[in-house]
């Protein structure tokens, strides 16, 4: 088995073995699951601050709706910016 | 700018929670902007489980799931989408896997796509006193 990676493209080459279509599909499914689990660990959070949308003058029209949403524990859009040291 | 105000059905909210069967839109990069996935990546149970081990997933990723009329932001239009009116330097649309079915795009057109990369979903992300389930620690 040979593996190769370039940018975000990963190749797995396995020659010689007679792998059924079902097994190949199962392997692909498991590879995808592993890749997704690795992606799930990504955190580029250092140095990033979160700025509420309502702090932007152009976006104050939604200040009250968003505030109401926060009180309900719902989902709101926010803008994030990199922290200026 | 589009003024679409049709039902939310069949369109995807690009600012959804991390949950199984959501789509992973992208990863929030070191510069604070979303790096969009070109392909539709479906979130499964394992992804959610792993993602919740760290900081809130919604602070690190962007997810999409069906837009719902019951959302507090829905008043015939999405109020969050309407609020994205700040200036940005971008002139090229990001590669996005859901543009054709995105609520925000359906409502405001390409204009909102230029600003989408600056959005993070969870308002409670910065609150270190809460865990991943929003409970006080």
Span B9-44, pLDDT tens digits: 589 999 998 999 999 999 988 888 899 999 999 999
Contact assignment for A75 to B86 by CB distance below 8 Å? no
H or E element that contains B105: helix B103-108
Q: What confidence score (pLDDT) does residue A37 get?
A: 94
Measured between alpha carbons, how far is A4 from A51 in angstroms, rounded to an integer?
A: 40
Q: Are A15 and B32 in contact (CB under 8 A)?
A: no
Structure confidence by residue, pLDDT tens digits, B89-108: 889 999 999 999 999 999 99
Question: Per-residue pLDDT for B136 more than 80?
Answer: no
Entry field: residues in chain A: 85
Measured between alpha carbons, how far is B49 from B19 in angstroms, rounded to an integer?
A: 9
Question: Per-residue pLDDT for A39 more than 90?
Answer: yes
Q: What is the ipTM of this complex?
A: 0.78
Q: What confidence score (pLDDT) does residue A72 get?
A: 43
B71 at A interface, C-beta within 8 A: yes
Question: Per-residue pLDDT for A61 more than 50?
Answer: no
Q: 3-class DSSP state for residue B110?
A: helix
Measured between alpha carbons, how far is B101 from B8 in angstroms, rounded to an integer?
A: 11
Assigned token pair, B136: 């006080």
Average the pLDDT over B66-91 and give the result: 84
Whole-prediction pTM: 0.77
Question: Per-residue pLDDT for A34 more than 50?
Answer: yes
Q: Percent helix, strand, coil in chain A (nearest 5)?
A: 45, 25, 30
Q: Which residues of B touch A31 (CB under 8 A)?
A: none
Q: Which residues of A touch B61 (CB under 8 A)?
A: 42
Q: What confidence score (pLDDT) does residue A83 get?
A: 46
Average the pLDDT over A52-58 and give the result: 58
Q: Which residue has the higher pLDDT, A72 or B15?
A: B15
Q: Are B75 and B101 in contact (CB under 8 A)?
A: no
Which residue is listed with tokens 């505030």? A67
């Amino acid at each position: 088995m040979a593996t190769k990676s370039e940018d975000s493209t990963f190749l797995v080459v396995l020659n010689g073995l007679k792998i059924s279509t079902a097994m190949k599909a199962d392997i692909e499914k498991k590879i995808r699951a592993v890749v997704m689990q690795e992606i799930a660990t990504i955190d580029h959070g250092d140095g990033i601050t979160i700025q509420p949308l309502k702090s932007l003058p152009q976006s104050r029209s939604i200040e009250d709706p968003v505030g109401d949403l926060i009180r309900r524990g719902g989902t709101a859009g926010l803008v994030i910016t990199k922290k200026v040291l | 700018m589009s003024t679409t105000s049709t039902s939310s059905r069949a369109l995807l909210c690009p600012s959804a929670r991390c949950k199984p069967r959501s789509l992973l839109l992208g990863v929030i990069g070191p510069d604070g902007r979303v790096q969009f996935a070109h392909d539709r990546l479906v979130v499964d149970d394992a992804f959610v489980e792993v993602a919740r081990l760290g900081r809130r997933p919604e602070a690190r990723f962007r997810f999409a799931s069906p837009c719902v009329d019951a959302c507090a932001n829905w008043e015939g239009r999405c109020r969050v989408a309407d609020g994205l009116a700040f200036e940005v330097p971008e002139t090229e649309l990001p590669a996005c896997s859901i543009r054709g079915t995105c609520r925000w795009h359906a409502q405001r057109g390409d204009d909102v796509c230029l600003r989408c990369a600056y959005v993070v979903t969870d308002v409670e992300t910065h609150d270190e006193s809460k865990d991943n389930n929003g409970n006080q620690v």
